Amino acid sequence: MQTLRRCGLALALAGAASLVSAADWQTLPEQAPAPADNPTTPAKVELGKMLYMDPRFSSTGTVSCNTCHNVMLGGDDNRPAAMGVHGQMGGRSAPTVWNSAFSSVQFWDGRAPSLEEQAKGPVANPVEMGMEDVEVAMNRVRQIPGYKAYFDKAFGPDSMSVDNAAKAVAAYERTLITPNSAYDRYVNGDKKAMTEQQVRGMNTFAATGCTACHSGAAFNGPTMPAGSGFFMKFPTFSDSEYVGKYGLMKDLGRFDVTKKDADKHLFKVPTLRNVALTAPYFHNGAVRTLDEAVKVMASTQLNKELNAEDTADIVAFLSALTGEFPAQTLPQLPPTEGWAFEYSAQK
């Protein structure tokens, strides 16, 4: 506790605003909360993983959820913007699916109040999976005979609906948790789990004021009721040199959803769990290194210029947030039988 108290003290001395005490270092729960109408069950998780991995529900038959939110990587695609069907580029960088269950809203602009609603979005997005609408995609699921038994098992008879498919995918995503990082082990009492530099970085992270937004178990803000969202203006200090350099004023963020002036440039505070694996950074993927991303954040959000040592220490600390990835066994997908889908192809 001594180290934690020191952090709190450092933060108090730094005078940074904070929604929670910086000393409130939380470990990642091993289970994610689920909505009352979609309790997590093994049958839903099994079906959800199949749907998540299956590329046949995109217009070209080549793009699955896992294409952009790749569980073999840090839950994203390591690229500035995601690539959907026909080589088309998405407008924002794909957020990580790992630990997304600990976010009270989904998408950078928070437009989905749940993982269930999020799951329906990319399917019909013309530059992502490119289906006409989710019902058309669901018809493909229905046309693969082998899927019925999995829906029956997860949801009972006559249950092959878009809502149930989305529930299954969400149930699978709620299992994508990366506990037991060096940070978690440190907070749980193993004082050797983090290096000296990482401990120093942890204190600097708090003292600099990063915990004002990046608090809580997933470092994405305080626990909020499902659907509410924790948003911050990015950039807050728009005269930062980085704003022009990285085009940070181009995206209006949550305003695109609500059309309220107050929501201009508001973005969901993203988790920092596994952030060392998810370059490039920010909603536009414009920043290639974590080192630079830390400096950008300090400047645009806290109006601070970090020196090289403090930056390196914070980066070292953030690397301690890389958790253990539960092994993902690939599902054996039921085959398309007797015919092939009319996939969209290059003309």
Residue matched to tokens 């913007």: 81
Is 328 a binding residue for a copy of itself by CB under 8 A? The answer is: yes
Tokens of 128: 């992502």
Nearer to a copy of itself, 39 or 335 (CB): 335
Burial of 172-188, coded b for 16+ CB within 10 Å and e otherwise, reads bbbbbbbbebbbbbbbe
Say how many CA atoms lie within 13 Å of 14 toward its Cβ.
23
Distance CA 196, CA 308 (A): 17
Instruction: Determine which one of 116, 128, 173, 292 is catalytic.
Output: 128
Residue type at 235 in one-letter notation: P
Residues 99-138 that bind a copy of itself (CB under 8 A): none
Residues 21-60 that bind a copy of itself (CB under 8 A): 53-56, 60
Nearer to a copy of itself, 119 or 275 (CB): 275
Torsion 45-50-112-77 (CA) sign: positive
Is 143 a binding residue for a copy of itself by CB under 8 A? The answer is: no
* 128 given a catalytic annotation: yes
Say if residues 226 and 35 touch (Cβ distance below 8 Å): yes
Distance CA 38, CA 150 (A): 16
Tokens of 43: 């049958």
- Determine the angle formed by the axes of helices 162-173 and 42-53, rounding to 10 degrees: 100
Specify the stretch interacting with a copy of itself by CB under 8 A; choose among 80-88, 103-111, 150-158, 223-231.
Answer: 80-88
Exactly one of 156, 157, 308, 346 binds a copy of itself (CB under 8 A); which one? 346
What is the phi/psi pair of residue 183, to 5°? -60, -50
Specify the stretch interacting with a copy of itself by CB under 8 A; choose among 17-25, 213-221, 257-265, 279-287.
Answer: 279-287
Is 86 a binding residue for a copy of itself by CB under 8 A? The answer is: yes
What is the phi/psi pair of residue 268, to 5°? -60, 135
Is 149 a binding residue for a copy of itself by CB under 8 A? The answer is: no
| CB of residue 17 to a copy of itself, shortest distance in Å | 32
Nearer to a copy of itself, 79 or 264 (CB): 79
Is 276 a binding residue for a copy of itself by CB under 8 A? The answer is: yes
Residue matched to tokens 């749980």: 188
Is 61 a binding residue for a copy of itself by CB under 8 A? The answer is: yes
Nearer to a copy of itself, 105 or 287 (CB): 287
Name every residue whose Cβ is closer than 8 Å to that of residue 16 and which is 6 or more positions away in sequence: 207, 208, 209, 211, 212, 302
Nearer to a copy of itself, 71 or 302 (CB): 71
Residues in touch with a copy of itself (CB under 8 A):
53-56, 60-63, 67, 70-74, 77-80, 83, 85-89, 276-280, 285, 288-289, 325, 327-333, 335-341, 343-346
| Catalytic machinery residues | 128
